């Protein structure tokens, strides 16, 4: 079975990593959909799709995940929920199941006839990308919430400096 795991991953954090590991215990292959691929250079979406792909791949590699079992595919938004599943399908290999906790994502894929696998919350209150981005902007200890590979890529690419510049006023 091949499963799909959609998210924005701004940034990919340790909760996401746990979901990947959980999903790979249940599926032979996993498609990690990097959603909102067209979004970047904002405080809500500071990283480009390519930067997120790089960060996710590096994190998976350093955590010992078999990369041959994982596809990482950027998919732009279409802002039309009723057509979103069909839109995603045009970007990814065929799949049989979706890994999701988000109620809208679950509903859309269930209505399209897909099996939905709901992972445990994996300390959901701790691993919140909005809070991690806030820590990045304010100089807090954001690194403890993301896999080592993600922290490396964020530093290498100057994402924190980008975010701080975006916060500047005229």
Ordered structural domains, the chain, with CATH: 2-167 (3.40.50.620)
**What are the backbone angles phi and psi of residue 130, rounded to the nearest 5°?**
-60, -45
B/e letters for 102-133, b = 16+ CB within 10 Å, e = fewer, are eeebbebbeeeebebbebeebeeeebebeebb
Give the pLDDT confidence of 80-109 residue by residue, as tens digits: 999 999 999 999 999 999 999 999 999 999
pLDDT grade, residue 169 (50/70/90)? confident
Token reading at 156: 């290498």
Report the SS3 class of residue 71.
Answer: strand
- 139 CA to centre of own chain: 23
pLDDT grade, residue 125 (50/70/90)? confident
Residue-averaged pLDDT of the chain? 96
Give the pLDDT confidence of 48-85 residue by residue, as tens digits: 999 999 999 999 999 999 999 999 999 999 989 999 99
Distance CA(102)–CA(108), nearest Å, equals 10
């Amino acid at each position: 079975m091949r499963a799909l795991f959609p998210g924005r991953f701004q940034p990919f954090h340790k909760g996401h990593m746990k979901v990947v590991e959980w999903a790979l215990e249940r599926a032979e292959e996993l498609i990690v959909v990097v959603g909102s691929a067209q979004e970047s250079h904002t405080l809500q979406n500071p990283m480009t799709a390519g930067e997120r792909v790089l960060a996710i791949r590096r994190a998976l590699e350093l955590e010992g995940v078999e990369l041959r079992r994982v596809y990482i595919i950027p998919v732009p938004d279409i802002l039309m929920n009723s057509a979103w599943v069909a839109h995603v399908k045009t970007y990814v290999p065929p799949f049989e199941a979706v890994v999701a906790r988000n109620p809208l994502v679950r509903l859309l894929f269930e209505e399209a006839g897909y099996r939905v696998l709901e992972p445990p919350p994996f300390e959901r209150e701790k691993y919140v990308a909005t809070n991690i981005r806030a820590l990045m902007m304010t100089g807090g200890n954001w690194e403890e919430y993301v896999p080592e590979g993600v922290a490396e890529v964020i530093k290498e690419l100057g994402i924190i400096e980008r975010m701080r510049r975006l916060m500047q006023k005229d």
